């Protein structure tokens, strides 16, 4: 979450008047995250989240995101629900941007995670994958392997200014990933961005998942690899095997991982690291003037990529294949 587009109170009051949520009492921008402009609304009916869609979110994709949240909630997954206006529409426009209001989830995200949190995320991710199995809509992942080289080409000439050797490292990695990327693994709806700030807890209990605006149809095991990157490294960027083991074992208890998925995990994890390295690099180099957002460092994912390049098998992530397929 972030704020790229400010909203005047007069415009917001007009927008909210189209909903049955009472009058606006207060609102404030949410500075965390990097993609859309988000505001916490306090109205006479309670608290809500207003999202203005920016950057990589295409207006044509919004029905997919809205429909997916409704679908997952109907199957027991706790996630924000779109609030429809008096015309029965979940999408509108404010400050010149496509916009939606969603329900507010109780909880907070964990700044410091441990194996218990990772286990909860593994279980929730598998539940999401199963719940999305019969979702009728599809959306291609524009930020999968075919989309990485164009991102790289757009910023390669400035990459070494961020991290020495980054240009050559990523060029070689893209050659590897394009040649080795697994093509025949189970597909379905994936979250594609399940970082700690998109998972809420009440105490130690996971209370909900948010921010589905990268969700798409892609390789399910790739979503697991994204979570290994996001949840299982320490602040010094060393990989925590205990966290990785907890996440993978909890996932497997809900949805079995095939031998092919497990064997592909090192390549998928390298791809996940490369994807976030590249998009963070672009964000780092192109922060809009005046934006209320602090871009995340691409150097974090440069170091994570280096770790994955040394991995030989699923065992290096904390489990043996026989543990997860038995």
Give pLDDT tens digits along the chain (326 positions).
355 677 889 999 999 999 999 999 999 988 665 578 889 999 999 999 999 887 667 778 889 999 999 999 999 999 999 999 999 998 899 988 889 999 999 999 999 999 999 999 999 999 999 999 999 999 999 999 999 999 999 999 999 999 899 999 999 999 999 999 999 999 999 999 999 999 999 988 999 999 999 999 999 999 999 999 999 999 999 999 999 999 999 999 999 999 999 999 999 999 999 999 999 999 898 876 555 566 788 999 999 999 999 999 999 999 887 777 65
Q: List every span in the chain annotated with CATH 3.30.200.20.
A: 9-103
Alpha helices (runs of H) in the chain, residue ranges in sequence order:
9-16, 62-74, 115-131, 145-159, 166-180, 220-231, 241-254, 259-285, 299-310, 321-325
Task: Spell out the residues 6+ positions from residue 176 whose beta carbon is closer than 8 angstroms to its own.
Answer: 270
38 forms bridges with which residues in the sheet?
51
Q: With the CA atoms of 126, 106, 135 and 125 taken in that order, what torsion angle do they form, in degrees rounded to the nearest 10?
A: -10
Who contacts 10 (Cβ-Cβ below 8 Å, separation ≥6)?
none
> CATH 3.90.1200.10 region(s) of the chain?
115-325
CATH superfamily of 9-103: Phosphorylase Kinase; domain 1 (3.30.200.20)
Contact 84/213 with Cβ under 8 angstroms?
A: no
Nearest CA-CA partner of 70 in 180, 212, 193:
212
Task: Report pTM.
Answer: 0.91
Question: Options 3.40.50.1820, 3.90.1200.10, 3.40.50.2300, 3.40.640.10; which CATH number does 115-325 get?
Answer: 3.90.1200.10
Angle between the N-to-C axes of helices 220-231 and 115-131, in degrees from 0 to 180, rounded to the nearest 10: 160
């Amino acid at each position: 979450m972030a704020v790229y587009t400010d909203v005047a109170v007069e415009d917001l009051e007009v927008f909210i008047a189209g909903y049955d949520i009472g009058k606006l009492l207060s609102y404030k921008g949410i500075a965390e995250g990097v993609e859309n402009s988000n505001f916490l609304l306090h109205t006479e009916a309670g608290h809500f989240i207003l999202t203005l869609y920016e950057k990589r979110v295409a207006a044509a994709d919004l029905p997919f995101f809205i429909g997916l949240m409704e679908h997952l909630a109907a199957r027991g997954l706790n996630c924000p629900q779109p609030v429809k206006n008096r015309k029965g529409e979940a999408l509108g426009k404010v400050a010149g941007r496509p916009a939606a209001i969603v329900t507010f989830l109780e909880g907070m995200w964990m700044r410091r995670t441990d194996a218990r949190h990772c286990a909860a995320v593994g279980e929730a991710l598998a539940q999401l994958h199963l719940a999305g199995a019969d979702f009728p809509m599809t959306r291609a992942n524009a930020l999968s392997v075919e989309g990485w080289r164009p991102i790289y080409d757009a910023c390669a000439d400035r990459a070494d200014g961020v991290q020495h050797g980054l240009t050559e490292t990523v060029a070689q990695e893209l050659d590897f990933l394009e040649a080795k990327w697994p093509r025949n693994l189970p597909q379905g709806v994936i979250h594609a961005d399940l970082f700690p700030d998109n998972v809420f807890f009440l105490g130690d209990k996971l209370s909900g998942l948010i921010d589905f605006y990268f969700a798409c149809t892609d390789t399910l095991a790739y979503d697991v690899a994204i979570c290994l990157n996001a949840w299982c490294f320490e602040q010094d960027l060393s990989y925590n095997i205990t966290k990785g083991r907890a996440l993978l074992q909890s996932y497997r208890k809900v949805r079995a991982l095939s031998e092919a998925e497990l064997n592909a995990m090192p390549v998928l994890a390298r791809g996940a690291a490369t994807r976030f390295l590249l998009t963070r690099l672009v964000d780092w180099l192109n922060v809009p003037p005046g934006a209320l957002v602090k871009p995340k460092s691409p150097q974090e994912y440069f170091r994570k990529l280096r770790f994955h390049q040394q991995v030989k098998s699923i065992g290096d992530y904390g489990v043996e294949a026989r543990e997860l397929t038995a």
